[in-house]
Amino acid sequence: MNKQERNEKIELYGRGYDLLKAVLAEVPQEAMKFKPEPKEWSVYEIIIHIADSESNAALRARKLIVEPGGAIMGYDQDAWANTLKYHEHSIEDALETTRLVRKTTYELLKRQPDEVFTHSIKHPEYDEPYTFERWIDLYSDHIPGHVEQIKNNMKLWKISNSS
């Protein structure tokens, strides 16, 4: 990825929270815990997941900057959602966590010299090095991907409530 592509992805990363808030404005309260399928997440669970995932992503970005070549932990996102009982968490706290983590990491990314983006670390789920480019690809699209999931949940919720 060249510098322009990287900067575009960093800007998309920086807009993530606003994209999330915009889609959530369209979700009625009674649709928040609707699950399209028993093993799929509700909008509520998606919001809590995003806060956990973004917190992990922020630590990974810092590890990539400060300790290239080191190792990071993986985590089972479904186990986190089930074991941590995501429906019992505060949505407001999760949104505030996401807002702050995104804001501080976005500002940090913008201040990095080009050479930092060549760093990599060891990730337990990948045989090859986990590069900063991979991090940027994954997390610039993380919230937009969940925005689409939320829109799909809403579509299915409306269908299930119209019959």
pLDDT digits (tens, 9 = 90+) for 44-88: 999 999 999 999 999 999 999 999 999 998 889 999 998 999 989
Region class of 159: left (phi > 0), else alpha (psi between -120 and 50), else beta: alpha
Report the predicted TM-score, pTM, of the whole model to 2 decimal places. 0.93
pLDDT digits (tens, 9 = 90+) for 133-158: 999 999 999 999 999 999 999 999 99
Helix (H, G, I), strand (E, B) or coil at 73: coil
Q: Which architecture, in CATH terms, is 3-162?
A: Up-down Bundle (1.20)
